[in-house]
Amino acid sequence: MTEAAAGPPADDSLAARLRGFGPLGLLAMVVILAGNLLVPPLSAVLVLLWARRSGTPWRAIGFVRPKSWMAGLAIGLVFGAALKLVMKAIVMPLLGADPINQAYHFLVGNTAALPGILYAMIVGAGFGEETLFRGYLFERLGRLLGSGRGARASIVLITGLLFGLAHYADQGLAGAEQATIVGLLFGAVFAVTGSLWMLMCAHAAFDLTALAIIYWDLETRVAHLVFR
């Protein structure tokens, strides 16, 4: 993508109001954040529409052309899958989590549910959640807090907590804890790289690894690999 979103001229007052934090800017934020309550990844689609109409550079929301698409894909797949295994086998047992993810236990051997859940994990989570929680929220909070080291650390913390909170309703405390940790890690990577491509791949790989573990009924076995 180009450095700047094509569209409104520099003196476009509507674009300026959408980028700001007045009534229209705040309304845009509420609508975008609420989009996924209707259907994922509506929030991410709204982010892209907002960026284009507000004249926000694509780079500002993490849409940066990587040096190598394939390298980003490969690193993301390995990072995401490895992170899920570490979370399942070490981190979550230390936090006292149930080895079984009750919210998604219905996926055990459930071939009929695979198309829908694969779409949700690749498009809804990989593309949608990274665009919203890393790309969009980093841009918005960066305008409010600045770009210094302390501000970036605060943004990583805030977005990580929001990411965890977003997973509480359907996955409970354990899901929120896991999502917060992952959100902090992904946020730290994004704060350094400013690019979403690898993180989108990693997020999808994380969820797909979780799906494989659940589908083949391996949750308890993986959760007890280290702590028996």
How sure is the predictor about 1, in pLDDT bands with cuts at 50, 70 and 90?
A: very low
Q: What is the pLDDT of residue 228?
A: 77
pLDDT tens across 165-181, in order? 999 999 999 999 999 99
Q: Above 90 in pLDDT, residue 8?
A: no
pLDDT tens across 88-113, in order? 999 999 999 999 999 999 999 999 99
Which residues 6+ apart lie within 8 Å of 145 measured at CB? 151, 154, 155
Q: What is the pLDDT of residue 2?
A: 44
pLDDT tens across 38-85, in order? 999 999 999 999 999 999 999 999 999 999 999 999 999 999 999 999
Residue 3 half-sphere exposure, CB side, CA atoms within 13 Å? 0
Q: What is the pTM of this model?
A: 0.93
Q: What is the pLDDT of residue 12?
A: 87
Q: Above 70 in pLDDT, residue 161?
A: yes
Q: What is the pLDDT of residue 10?
A: 57
Q: Above 70 in pLDDT, residue 6?
A: no
Q: Above 70 in pLDDT, residue 5?
A: no
Q: Specify the higher pLDDT residue, 2 or 132.
A: 132
Share of the chain above pLDDT 90, in %: 93
Q: What is the pLDDT of residue 227?
A: 87
